[in-house]
Chain A
Amino acid sequence: MVSAPAVEQERRAREAAARVPDPELPMLTLADLGVLRGVRVEPGGAVVAELTPTYSGCPAMAEMRADVAARLRAAGFARVEVRTVLDPPWSTDLITAEGRRKLAAHGIAPPGPAPRRTGGPVPLVLGATRHAVECPRCGSADTEETSHFSATACKSLWRCCACREPFEHVKEL
């Protein structure tokens, strides 16, 4: 049986971990981004938090791990372990509605639905097939991609043909 204090402890731990900002997109928390897979308090009192990397080479993974541990310690948990979880892989579909709202509010176009993968080989599609991305500043759909890769692995670079502003877009993964 789980005692009430244990449930309360787990809630506190989850809240503390969920508030950690993403190092590269600091307007989002790790919970908004969907990289915080779970937080639990083990019977001995140790907190185990699970994180999943966005991209294989995400350079911020070590800092995320350290930040989560630091927040949990600051919240009074003496024994903290942060584990990496690879399966299932992260997808932009895991970014919460709140996370998408915050991205747009900060001038970053949120991702559309990630491509659905079927069993066969991954098809190569050439030509203009990309969906329209709305300008997060003026809302125009008259936008164009200037580079598929931007300052971080998870974003592409766009410009708005209506308001002429450049903006970033979290690309679907």
Chain B
Amino acid sequence: MSPAPETPGTSQAAVTPEPPESPAAPGSSPAAGTDHVYLSLAEEHDDDSGRWAFGTGFTDPLHGVDTAVPPGVDGAALASLCLELADDALVQAQRLAEWCTRAPELEEEVALANIGLDLLGQARLLYARCGRADGTDRGEDAYAYFRDPADFRNVTLAELPNGDFAFSIVRLLVLSTWRLAVLHRLTGAQDPVLAAVAAKAVPELTYHRQYAAQWAVRLGDGTEESHRRMRAALAQVAPYLPEVFASSPADGAAVRAETVSVLEQVLAEAELAGALPVPDEPGSADGREGRHTAHLAPLLAELQQVARAHPEATW
């Protein structure tokens, strides 16, 4: 997948395109699938001088994991759930990466990029799971790069432009709270791969929600101007809440109750109680059915541009 928003100081060598890696064909020897350009480079050098820019070699994130769909698990339902959660994460990761060079402080830029990187990692695992569950054996790139906006199943809140910092914080608060509630429940999923992916994501999302909640309190209970902007951001996000609640994959009422309770806790602390009206009824699941705002297409165009211009390239 696309090189993740690289955190400072992690790459030592110039990034050179990797020669194409032969995908491990089903039935080929397992060792062939692990062959990698780093091997030859690392072998030519002493231990510490052979470092190569990393974060640039992409292999199946589920490599070596038993990905057979267990009996009794509905593959189509599993695939569609993984796709929804992966699309939410990928689109959100792309928006978070857009904060690079634009955040109010360097620390916040690093934080937002880190959160995006976690979500990108979750998306990769979920796409890989989806490719096995839907029976197509597609890799993660097929989902991320070679689907059009109407094929994406993310909630539309994820695709809205970043707006000001307050808007991005409110969106992150809502989506991380909802996602944590959902993935926490999925740690008990019948599919062991999804359960493991969820278990890995829960502590990450706990940090994301904590980050957003602390900023929400700081801004809401901050200056007159920051409070005003938080109110405006909450009003902008409110119309998208019904769609988020419409799309809880399982245990929707409990997910909704948990999400609302956490949001109320944060908003009370932020002197913003009541500023985010919670819908009585779930709304229509627009994004989950492929109906998106006009903002998704340009986001995907940017995300997919290189992969589509050079469809056989690896890096």
Contacts and interface: CB of A to CB of B under 8 A. Distances in A.
Q: Check if A and B associate.
A: yes
A69 B10 CA distance: 22
Contacts of B36: 62, 65-66, 69
Contact of B199 (A60, A70, A89, A148): A89
Given A62-B57, A81-B64, A152-B10, A122 B43 contact: no
Contact of B31 (A66, A74, A79, A149): A79
Interface string B232-269: 00000000000000000000000000100010011001
B31 A87 contact: no
A62 B54 contact: yes
Given A23-B51, A79-B31, A153-B118, A122 B206 contact: yes
A63 B38 contact: yes
Given A26-B48, A83-B63, A67 B55 contact: no
A86 B193 contact: yes
Interface string A56-94: 111111110111011001100001111111111111000
Nearest to B42: A70
Interface in B171-210: 180-181, 184, 192-193, 195-197, 199-204, 206-207, 209-210
Contact of A69 (B39, B107, B184, B204): B39
A151 B217 CA distance: 25
Interface residues of A, number: 54
Contacts of A121: 181, 184, 258
A50 B124 CA distance: 19
Contacts of B48: 21, 26
B266 A63 contact: no
A140 interface: no
A86 B118 contact: no
Interface string B40-60: 001100011001101101110
Contact of B65 (A65, A70, A83, A171): A83
A173 interface: yes
Contacts of A82: 34, 63-64
A2 interface: no
Among B10, B107, B203, residue most surrounded by chain A Cβ atoms (within 10 Å)? B203
A39 interface: no
Nearest to A79: B31
Nearest to A50: B64
Given A121-B181, A121-B184, A89 B121 contact: no
A74 B54 contact: no
A9 interface: no
A66 B38 contact: yes
B26 to A, nearest CB: 15
B204 to A, nearest CB: 6
B193 A124 contact: no
Interface string A115-144: 101000110101000000000000000000
Interface string B19-42: 000000000011100101011001
The 7 closest A-B pairs by CB, nearest first: A57-B121, A83-B64, A56-B121, A59-B55, A66-B38, A147-B107, A86-B196
18 contacts: A21-B47, A56-B200, A56-B204, A57-B120, A62-B57, A69-B36, A80-B31, A80-B34, A82-B64, A83-B63, A86-B125, A86-B200, A87-B195, A88-B199, A114-B203, A121-B258, A126-B266, A152-B10
